[in-house]
Amino acid sequence: MDDRTKRKYIMETKEVPIKTNKSSLLIKCKSSEKTYTEEEVKELLRMVIEEKENESNL
Protein backbone atom coordinates (compact mmCIF):
# COMPACT_ATOMS: atom_id res chain seq x y z
CA MET A 1 0.00 0.00 0.00
CA ASP A 2 1.16 3.46 -0.74
CA ASP A 3 0.59 6.57 1.36
CA ARG A 4 -2.55 7.53 -0.55
CA THR A 5 -4.47 4.46 0.57
CA LYS A 6 -3.41 4.97 4.19
CA ARG A 7 -4.94 8.44 4.45
CA LYS A 8 -8.09 8.73 6.53
CA TYR A 9 -11.10 10.88 5.76
CA ILE A 10 -13.61 12.01 8.36
CA MET A 11 -17.07 11.81 6.86
CA GLU A 12 -19.34 11.56 9.88
CA THR A 13 -19.06 13.44 13.14
CA LYS A 14 -21.47 13.24 16.06
CA GLU A 15 -21.67 15.18 19.29
CA VAL A 16 -23.85 13.69 21.99
CA PRO A 17 -24.58 15.40 25.32
CA ILE A 18 -23.45 13.22 28.19
CA LYS A 19 -23.79 15.57 31.13
CA THR A 20 -26.12 18.45 31.91
CA ASN A 21 -26.76 20.46 35.04
CA LYS A 22 -30.11 20.92 36.83
CA SER A 23 -31.22 23.70 34.52
CA SER A 24 -30.51 21.49 31.47
CA LEU A 25 -27.49 23.44 30.36
CA LEU A 26 -24.93 21.35 28.57
CA ILE A 27 -21.80 20.77 30.61
CA LYS A 28 -20.04 18.09 28.67
CA CYS A 29 -20.53 16.33 25.36
CA LYS A 30 -18.93 13.35 23.72
CA SER A 31 -17.86 13.47 20.12
CA SER A 32 -17.23 10.56 17.82
CA GLU A 33 -15.93 10.43 14.27
CA LYS A 34 -16.23 7.84 11.56
CA THR A 35 -13.19 7.68 9.33
CA TYR A 36 -12.79 6.05 5.94
CA THR A 37 -9.74 5.15 3.89
CA GLU A 38 -9.33 6.54 0.39
CA GLU A 39 -10.38 3.20 -1.10
CA GLU A 40 -13.53 3.15 1.02
CA VAL A 41 -14.35 6.69 -0.10
CA LYS A 42 -13.94 5.71 -3.75
CA GLU A 43 -16.24 2.72 -3.26
CA LEU A 44 -18.88 4.87 -1.54
CA LEU A 45 -18.74 7.41 -4.36
CA ARG A 46 -19.04 4.68 -6.96
CA MET A 47 -22.14 3.35 -5.21
CA VAL A 48 -23.71 6.82 -5.08
CA ILE A 49 -23.03 7.40 -8.78
CA GLU A 50 -24.58 4.04 -9.69
CA GLU A 51 -27.64 4.82 -7.58
CA LYS A 52 -28.06 8.23 -9.24
CA GLU A 53 -27.73 6.68 -12.70
CA ASN A 54 -30.39 4.11 -11.82
CA GLU A 55 -32.72 6.87 -10.59
CA SER A 56 -32.30 8.83 -13.81
CA ASN A 57 -33.07 5.72 -15.89
CA LEU A 58 -36.48 5.29 -14.26
What's the domain range around 49?
3-57
Q: Are strands 26-37 and 8-20 parallel, antiparallel or unpaired?
A: antiparallel
Does the pTM exceed 0.85? no
28 CB contacts (<8 Å, ≥6 apart)? 17, 18, 19
pLDDT tens profile 18-40: 777 777 776 777 788 888 888 88
Structural domains counted in the chain = 1
DSSP conformation letters of 2-37: -HHHH-EEEEEEEEEEEEE-TT--EEEEEEEEEEEE
Rg (CA), the chain: 19
pLDDT tens profile 41-56: 889 899 999 998 988 8
